[in-house]
């Protein structure tokens, strides 16, 4: 891949509207549905027989998975989930999940798989199955534009008096507690509200994915992501599913390979993450 996530800041200005308004990009508007109880993995044959695919989504992660008040979803993962349902020849139904419960919900079989910006982590790989990655990512910092010179590194942030705000249960909280033991970490339930709270002075910084930081920095002039080309970590995003869903995992990996070969994944990355600017991958 020749593009880099540093392009998030400029490219994501192509996405019209903030996180409270779906852009006119043709993203699917699928109604949320409560999953049937399964408690275990599901096979491709079972999905085709019942006629719908259950996809878990947090709906709070710009620009990958955002839920509107009417229950519709938009973003890269929302469109990719629709592509997968179309490939299976079934209806797409989203199931609402949260970052603190997404792994437990996956294990409990509350949906067939989750696609909402899920990072491939050791804990998730040990307890569940994850697809081949379809989007590289990494952690960076979102801050007020006026503080760009003040927080130029993790060392600058890891100090008493620095207020860090994160959503609960995900890798943002986990790594913030690991990297920033001297800072004051506050947990806020609604992930999509945190950038505005930082802009308003309720907290100083947020450790989050490069895509998300780039999105908000491009939409709100009060915010900045100055270290987006110097990520604190490298990561990959994939779909997560129950450990007993080996048949579905094989199908999803084959589907992703075909989406890559056809250019569809590049199309989605360009639309929601990279934009048309060609850049070398970050070192």
Q: pLDDT tens, 45-56?
A: 999 999 999 999
Q: Are residues 200 and 145 in the same domain?
A: yes
Whether residue 109 is contained in a domain is answered as yes
Are residues 204 and 247 both part of a single domain?
Answer: no
Query: Quick one: how far is CA 97 from the chain centroid?
Result: 13
> Would you state the pLDDT for residue 274?
65
Q: Kindly indicate the confidence band of residue 39, based on its pLDDT and cuts at 50, 70 and 90.
A: low
Residue 199's pLDDT is 97
- The helix/strand/coil state of 178 is helix
Asked whether 185 and 177 are in contact (CB, 8 A), the reply is: yes
Whether 54 and 104 share a structural domain = yes
What confidence tens digit (pLDDT) does each residue in 118-131 have? 989 888 999 999 99
List, for residues 237-283, the tens digit of each pLDDT value. Answer: 999 999 999 999 999 999 999 999 999 999 998 888 765 343 233 32
Structural domain that includes position 268: 5-136+236-274
Query: For position 23, what pLDDT does the model report?
Result: 45
Contact 136, 5 (CB under 8 A): yes
Same domain, 108 and 215: no
Question: Would the pLDDT of 159 be above 60?
Answer: yes
Do 65 and 84 lie in a common domain? yes
- Is residue 106 predicted with pLDDT exceeding 90? yes
Q: What pLDDT digit, counting tens, does each position of 198-219 carry?
A: 999 999 999 998 888 888 888 8
Whole-angstrom Cα distance, residue 114 to residue 273? Answer: 20
Q: Alpha carbon of 47 to those of 91, 114, 244: distances in Å?
A: 10, 15, 14
For residue 230, tell me if it sits in a domain.
no
pLDDT value of residue 103: 95
Mean pLDDT along residues 101-111: 95
Average pLDDT, the chain: 85
Question: Do the Cβ atoms of 174 and 100 come closer than 8 Å?
Answer: no
State whether 29 and 160 are in the same domain: no
Average confidence (pLDDT) over 22-49: 62
Within-domain flag for 281: no
Q: What mean pLDDT comes out for the span 132-136?
A: 92
From the list 96, 68, 64, 98, the residue with the least C-alpha distance to 212 is 64
Is pLDDT above 90 for 151? yes
In the chain, % helix, strand, coil (3-state, to 5) comes to 35, 20, 40
Same domain, 53 and 132: yes
Phi-psi region of 162 (alpha: psi -120 to 50; beta: other; left: phi over 0): beta
Share of the chain above pLDDT 90, in %: 65
Give 190-196 contacts, CB < 8 A, sequence gap 24+: 190/60, 191/58, 191/60, 191/61, 191/99, 191/167, 192/19, 192/60, 192/61, 192/62, 192/66, 194/165, 194/166, 194/167, 195/142, 195/220, 195/223, 196/220
- By C-alpha distance, which of 101, 62, 232, 116 is closest to 164? 232
Q: What is the pLDDT of residue 235?
A: 85
Residue 35, pLDDT > 80, answer: no
Confidence of residue 160 (pLDDT cuts 50, 70, 90): very high
**Stretch 62-88: mean pLDDT:** 95
pLDDT at residue 190 is higher than 70? yes
| pLDDT of 137 strictly over 90 | no
Handedness of CA 12, 135, 36, 50 (dihedral sign): positive
Q: Residue 255 belongs to a domain with what CATH number?
A: 3.40.190.10
- pLDDT band with cut points at 50, 70 and 90 for residue 28: very low
């Amino acid at each position: 891949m020749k593009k880099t996530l540093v392009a998030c800041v400029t490219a994501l200005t192509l996405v019209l509207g903030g996180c409270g308004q779906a852009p006119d990009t043709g993203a699917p508007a699928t109604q949320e549905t409560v999953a049937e109880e399964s408690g275990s993995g599901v096979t491709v044959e079972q999905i085709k027989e019942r006629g719908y695919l259950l996809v878990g989504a947090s709906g709070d992660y710009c620009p990958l998975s955002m839920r509107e008040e009417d229950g519709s979803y938009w973003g890269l993962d929302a469109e990719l989930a629709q592509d997968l349902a179309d490939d299976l020849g079934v209806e797409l139904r989203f199931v609402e999940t949260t970052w603190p419960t997404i792994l437990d919900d996956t294990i409990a079989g509350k949906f067939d798989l989750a696609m909402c910006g899920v990072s491939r982590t050791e804990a998730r790989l040990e307890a569940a199955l994850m697809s081949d990655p379809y989007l590289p990512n990494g952690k960076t910092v979102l801050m007020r534009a006026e503080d760009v010179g003040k927080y130029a590194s993790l060392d600058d942030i890891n100090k008493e008096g620095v207020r860090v705000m994160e959503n609960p249960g995900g890798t943002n909280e986990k790594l913030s507690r690991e990297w920033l033991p001297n800072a004051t970490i506050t947990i806020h339930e609604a992930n999509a509200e945190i950038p505005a709270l930082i802009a308003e002075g309720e907290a100083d910084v947020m450790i989050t994915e490069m895509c998300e930081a780039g999105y908000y920095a491009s939409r709100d002039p009060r915010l900045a992501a100055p270290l987006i080309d110097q990520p604190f970590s490298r990561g990959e995003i994939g779909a997560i599913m129950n450990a007993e869903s080996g048949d579905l995992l094989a199908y999803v990996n084959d589907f992703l390979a075909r989406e890559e070969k056809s250019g569809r994944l590049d199309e989605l990355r360009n639309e929601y993450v990279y934009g048309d600017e060609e850049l070398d991958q970050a070192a």
